[in-house]
Every structure is written in C-alpha cells, then in structure tokens.
Amino acid sequence: MATVPTSERWYRRHAGPARVTHWINVVCFTLLLMSGLQIFNAHPALYVGDRSDFDHPAMSIRAHLSENGLVGETMIVGHSFDTTGVLGVSSEHGQVSSRGFPSWITIPSNQDLATGRRWHFFFAWLLVLNGLVYFGWGCASRHFDRDLLPSRAELGHIGKKVLEHLRLRFPRGAAAKRYNVLQQLAYLLVVFVLFPLMILTGLTMSPGIDSAMPQLLTLFGGRQTARLIHFIAASSLALFVIVHLVMVLVSGVWNNLRSMITGWYDLGNPRTTDVA
C-alpha cells in the first residue's frame, strides 16, 4: 500500500488574509455594483467634463414612446441600440416601467436613490478598509512581488498561455502552484488599477472632497468625466468577475473553491492516480 505524503499533493495555495479579504471583497463588490446601478438609474446618462451637457451625453439609457409602446434605447458615443427589456425599459414587479438598469440587478429593486446611496457608501467604506488590510498584508508578506509580479521569463510566455487558455488546458501538479502570467496580469490590473480608480473617481464625485483635493478634478478631467470613468472601471471589474468565474468553473471548480475557502489546493499528484 503506497501512501502519498499529503505535503506533495495538498498545497496551501491561499494564505488566510488573502482568503478572508477575498470573500469580504466579493460581498462588497457585488453590493456596490448593484447599489451603484441604482444610483446610476437616478440619472442614466454620462458626460465628459466638469458639467453635464444634457443634449450631448457620452452614453445614455433612455425610454421613449413608439407605436409599439415603450422602447428602451441605449446610446453610446452617438450609436443607438434598442435594448427594450433590459436597458431603458424593463419589468419592475410585473409592470413594464422606464428605468436604466433592470430591477433584478439594482439594490433596492425599486427606484429608491436614498437607499441605494446608503448601501453604496456603507460598503464603499468596508471595501476601502478591507482593501487597506489586503494591501498592508500584501506588502508585508511580499505577496505582490512573489505571487503577482510576473518574471521576465513568464512575460515571454504570454502567447503560449493565451493558446492554452483558449484550449481550456490548465497546469497541473507543481506548475499549478504559481499563478500563470495571464492571471498575474489580470490580478495586477484589478488590484493596482481598477480598484484604486474606482475609489479615486468615487471620491472625485464628492463636492466636499473636491474642496480639499481639487487636484482630483484635474487628474480625471472634471466631475462628470470622473463619473464616466467610475462607470467604465465598474464595468471592467464586472467583466473581470465574469471571466474569473468562467475560469474558476472550467479549471476545476471544487478545487478552486476549496482552496479559496480552506486554503488547500489539490495538485493532483500523478502518483496518487497510480495507486488508485
């Protein structure tokens, strides 16, 4: 009877602080996205600059009446799309209503800006505090440079990794101990670009903060541009989450979930397969 040492098969992939902050972030991001869409719905149009040029938004979601009833229209830089049923016009508690994003994706589900704002700012604080804990731990434990920063050699393998991902072939064994270069780049983008952008553009929308730090307005090109960037960065994060979830699903959902909950990742030691 061959016994395989657990140390070779079970690999402690995620440290405690990474796991705890990851799940707090999941809750925060989900609720921030949903309450953020509620806030967006109060004025479903985005502009460039300091002020809103109501006749020329960069993007808008509107409803208008046609002979076939209410039509939802989404406009992105001059190009209009009929988005009835999802954007502009959708059903709220069984009733066709004109609203930006549909009720199933906003908090609360009905139009209620005050409640949306209350949720948004609470979870924004939690996200920032959680982010600070993660950032502090990441620096202290050298998580960022050890796990997230790709080496020159890893950067050279981007093309190969993209092909592997498209064929849904993922590393096993010792190679799975380290994030691959596509993961590293995606996580770096999320941690060091998208989340900081969300927080800074969010703060730029605060008239109070603008009086203390007018440099933020210069940096982002005005309050309305900051609102536009806030929306684009949030959409990018939502897209990241979708790709992330697909990857979790196709690369061994239970193994991935277990490792993010308990820390333990099954490297699938081939010797185990032999004895089985």
Interface ranges with other proteins (CB under 8 A): 10, 30-31, 34, 39-40, 42-43, 45, 47, 50-52, 54, 107-110, 112-115, 117-119, 121-122, 124-125, 205-212, 214, 217, 223-224, 227, 254, 257-258, 261-262, 266, 272, 276
Looking at the Cβ atoms of 119 and 134, the one nearer to other proteins is 119
* Shortest Cβ 224–other proteins spacing (Å): 6
* Shortest Cβ 113–other proteins spacing (Å): 7
Looking at the Cβ atoms of 58 and 186, the one nearer to other proteins is 58
* Shortest Cβ 74–other proteins spacing (Å): 17
Q: Are 2 and 271 in contact (CB under 8 A)?
A: yes
State how far the Cα of 276 lies from the Cα of 9, in Å rounded to an integer: 14
Looking at the Cβ atoms of 31 and 182, the one nearer to other proteins is 31
Give residue 179's Cα distance to chain centre. 19
State how far the Cα of 190 lies from the Cα of 225, in Å rounded to an integer: 20
Looking at the Cβ atoms of 143 and 227, the one nearer to other proteins is 227
Burial of 61 per CB tally in 10 Å (0-12, 13-18, 19+): buried
* Shortest Cβ 3–other proteins spacing (Å): 11
Looking at the Cβ atoms of 33 and 181, the one nearer to other proteins is 33
* Shortest Cβ 33–other proteins spacing (Å): 12
Positions of E strands within the chain: 10-12, 45-46, 59-66, 69-76, 79-82, 88-92, 95-99, 264-266
